[in-house]
Amino acid sequence: MISKSSPIGVFDSGVGGISVLRVLKHDMPNENYIFFGDSINAPYGEKSETRIKEMCDNNIKFLFEHGAKAIVIACNTATSAAATYLREKYPDTIIVAMEPAVKPAVDKSETAHPHVLVLATSATIHGERLHHLIGRFSDDADINAVAAPGIVPLVEAGKEDSEEMLNYLKELLKPFRSAQDGGEGKIVDSVVLGCTHFPFAMKKIREALGYDVTFYDGAYGTSRETKRRLTEAGLLNDSSADGSIQLFSTSKETSPTALAERLLNLPFDYSPEK
């Protein structure tokens, strides 16, 4: 039986979902959390929709076995491919998913017609959800969606702040760098992080672009929705004590959760409007 003290289950295709867990923990510090990172199958963005659904179902079953009262799909690719399927299969479960923060990137811009760069996995870029989302705001902004598949394996390898990451991003983002910096001059105002791994690469994304941008991360909206749904269901933990975090991973590494723990404890700029 689930109760207010039962944990919130969070899963991702790897350690990227830790970026969402950080925000959840900040917003609801008294909740208990179980995080499951399916690193052995990362990245999901290169898998078929059928395979992604199968993996997500396995992830949810694991979290159910550990008593999860609600599920957070901390993965944009999994959301795009499997959120509807999972909600139909588990209609009595609170399942909160991700959405790239395109709307706030457009609505909160100080520019009349903002230039927005959406970075995501290949699967998310080609999915109907993102196409529909971008279509809603295409009259109000110049929105460019770019697949950045190389970020995920580098973050999974603990190289989020490496020269290898920077070199990859400089080549990928060449169209959006200034002409004086060897780019094509298509300057953007903001970057939407359409994969939960990508917040860990923000420093290198900014460095690769060569100028300052505003980042928008869907984790904040996901956290607010999780809190709303738990409150609505009478399942929000009302304990005054700090909650616990359990980390699990399918990684074959000697210490499979070491990277997740390091990322979880990295300082981050909590920016709920971005």
Q: What is the torsion angle, in degrees rounded to the nearest 10, for the CA atoms of residue 204, residue 273, residue 230 and residue 3?
A: 50
- The one-character DSSP state at 108 is T
Quote the DSSP letter at residue 7. Answer: P
Give residue 127's region: left, alpha or beta (phi > 0; psi -120 to 50).
beta
Catalytic one among 8, 75, 86, 151? 75
Strand, helix or coil for residue 96? strand
Size (the chain), residues: 274
Are the C-beta atoms of residues 125 and 198 closer than 8 Å to each other? no
75 is catalytic: yes
Sheet holding 8-12, edge to edge: 94-96, 70-73, 8-12, 33-37, 245-249
Torsion of CA 19, 20, 22, 28, to 10 degrees: 170
CA dihedral of residues 262, 266, 271, 272 (deg, nearest 10):
30
Which one from 20, 21, 106, 195 is the annotated catalytic residue?
195
Let me know if 195 is a catalytic residue. yes
CA distance 120 to 221: 17
C-alpha to C-alpha distance for 238 and 228, rounded to whole angstroms: 14
**How far, in whole angstroms, is CA 77 from its chain's centroid?**
9
Question: What does residue 228 show for φ and ψ, rounded to 5 degrees?
Answer: -60, -45
- Residues designated as active site: 75, 195
